[in-house]
Amino acid sequence: MSRRIDGNKHRWEVVKPFCETKNQQTKNMKTKDQIELTPRGAERRNLIMRTAVASLALVVCAAIGVGGVTLAQHAGKGQVKVTHLSQREIVEKLDGKDASATVKEVTFEPGQKDLSHRHAGPVFGYVLEGEYEHAIDDEPVKIYKAGETFYEPSGCVHRVAQNPSGKTRTRLLAVILHPRAAKEVTLPQKEKE
């Protein structure tokens, strides 16, 4: 019982307590099926669902990307290491044919050389680390340093490709444009007999 004051008169009456007991709270609660979603509640639920799906998609894509890099080509003894990073179809045509762009990372250990080769299309290169000694066809040998770029036209013979340093490795990023139908984008050059 509690005391309640009305005007000038004092009287006693029973007043419900402010808090309900645990059993009363449970009886008064609605289940999720009984709750009607307002338009605002539905929008919030949809936003949460879209965010969750987008997060899951991002995690899956990241896992696939890491897996792809893990499946990189590892060179045999004495060969340079070539890691296939990506291949995408592009809208531009190459010699009138549908084309793709392939991105590779090439790693040369100290003093390591690559065999003479050609590419199925033009190559744009970027030296990520170290120095790179490079010559195509009958052009003179050039040395490129980290941060520098180089270009190789379609079909030219890449006769010199090596790391001139005996102490540090060289890493390149190569973007090769090529016909979509090309099975190999790097073709070994047959040695002259």
Residues 144 and 148: their CA atoms lie apart, in Å, by 6
Domain count, the chain: 1
Q: Domain limits at 117?
A: 76-188
Please state the φ and ψ torsions of residue 80, each to the nearest 5 degrees: -70, 155
CATH of the domain at 98: 2.60.120.10
The pTM of this model reads: 0.59
Which has the higher per-residue pLDDT, 42 or 143? 143
Residues 44 and 17: their CA atoms lie apart, in Å, by 35
The SS3 of residue 29 is: coil
Does 20 fall in a domain? no
pLDDT tens-digit readout, 57-100: 444 444 444 444 433 344 445 689 999 999 999 999 998 999 99
Does 42 fall in a domain? no
Does 151 fall in a domain? yes
pLDDT tens-digit readout, 170-183: 999 999 999 999 98
CA angle, 8 then 14 then 19, to 5°: 115
CA distances from 9 to 5, 14, 15, 56 (A): 7, 16, 17, 68
**136, containing H or E segment:** strand 131-136
Residues 56 and 60: their CA atoms lie apart, in Å, by 6
CB atoms within 10 A of CB 178: 22
Q: Of 10-24, 61-75, 107-121, give the lowest mean pLDDT range.
A: 61-75
